[in-house]
Amino acid sequence: MLLFKITEWWKWWVVVVDEENKVLGVFTDWDLRRFIQKNGIDFIEKVKIKDVMTKNPKVASITQKAVNVLNVMEANNITFIPIVDEKRKLLWAINIHDIVKEWIK
C-alpha cells in the first residue's frame, strides 16, 4: 500500500508518472487527509491513487533558476515540486528544504 511506502520513505509526497515517466500527478499527505476527512478511514484500502491524487501538478523545468522555482512554490502554496525535462518527463523532485539548505551552505 502506497501509504505505508510514503511512511517508510519518510516522504510526504509521491510523484505519479506514466509508462514514459511523464508526470501525471502527485499524491501528498494533504490528499490523504482530505480523502479521510471526506470519506472516513474505512475506505482507505479500496481507494486508487489516481482517484485522489492532484492531477496535472505544477512542475519546474530543469532550466529554471532556483529562485524562480521557489517563487512558483510560494505562489501555489506547495512545499515540493517535480523537476521535469522539456517533454515533462520526471527527472527528480525537490522540496523547499532542499532549496533552503543550498542557500545557507
Assign 58 to helix, strand or coil.
coil
| pLDDT at res. 11 | 62
pTM of the model as a whole: 0.78
Is there a contact between 93 and 28 (Cβ–Cβ < 8 Å)?
no
| Residues 35, 49 contacting (CB under 8 angstroms) | no
User: Which sequence spans correspond to the domains of the chain?
Assistant: 2-104
Rounded Cα gap, residues 91 and 55, in angstroms: 18
Residue type, 82: P
Q: What is the mean pLDDT of residues 29-52?
A: 82
Proportion of the chain in helix, strand, coil states, percent, rounded to 5: 45, 25, 30
pLDDT for 59-94, tens place per residue?
999 999 988 999 999 999 998 899 999 999 999 998
The superfamily CATH assigns to domain 2-104 is CBS-domain (3.10.580.10)
Q: Is the pLDDT of residue 24 over 90?
A: yes
Q: Which pLDDT value is given to residue 21?
A: 94
Residue 12 has a pLDDT of 73
Determine the Cα–Cα distance for residues 24 and 95; give it in Å rounded to an integer: 18
